[in-house]
Structure 1
């Protein structure tokens, strides 16, 4: 993932990177924010300056950076297939698997937030595809559901270079004609 794709405060980015590192051990929590803040600034409370709404706001920020990074990969030449976009997204986030695993657990307890965030990601995926029009609610929701299923598959894929996830993505998107 390209952390520098969005214009952001360097301190905010440093905190976000430390949060991504803290979440696998601490979960998506204020404890993780405090740990990240300590690691980034030597001050456990400084996170409130950047993300006063807490972990939920931080997850939105990391997701926004991830969406922008994915979209930047297709700024010069759009993808031919949504499967390519998904594969790119997962490749960019390969080192974030432990973080994503904990976020998915958090999302199970906060489904409306998760759904809204993933709807945004589905719309960005459509924007990355050549000839794609703005998706209607049903199309983006369908992609959201199947992309989320693929993320779960990816999280537990132990094959070299996630070849099983790539094959599942290709097959599923072919069936959906995306």
Structure 2
């Protein structure tokens, strides 16, 4: 049905006196390719949000509000990344090498998505089953490791060990 309607729209626009979309602008290869890339990106984004909403609400049992809040980090990352990328990379190298690279990365991203989702899910469940003392021990150990790497000294590790001995 969508193909029939799109074909009818294109036919109508070729005969209209003042068309909404003059089809002659699609004769420019660069412009037509950018429109096609935008269409693919929009369809892909819509699909991600649609099916991720189904997954969060029906499989994980999230409410509509919780699902919306769960989308906020992804949306913020997309906005921040697009803004930084558009201001720094695009003016330097232009869209011709960037668009195919982005499409390739977007296509390759889901290749290992199942493993990433499974690992995150297992980590979440393992974390939710740990006791308060185990969580505290894990976080303090992580702070020890990060402190040793960041400063390269044993003083931060000793301070973290002293905190561990002090208790809650």
- TM-score scaled by length of structure 2: 0.27
Which structure features the higher share of helix residues? 2
Q: Which has the larger radius of gyration?
A: 2
- TM-score scaled by length of structure 1: 0.26
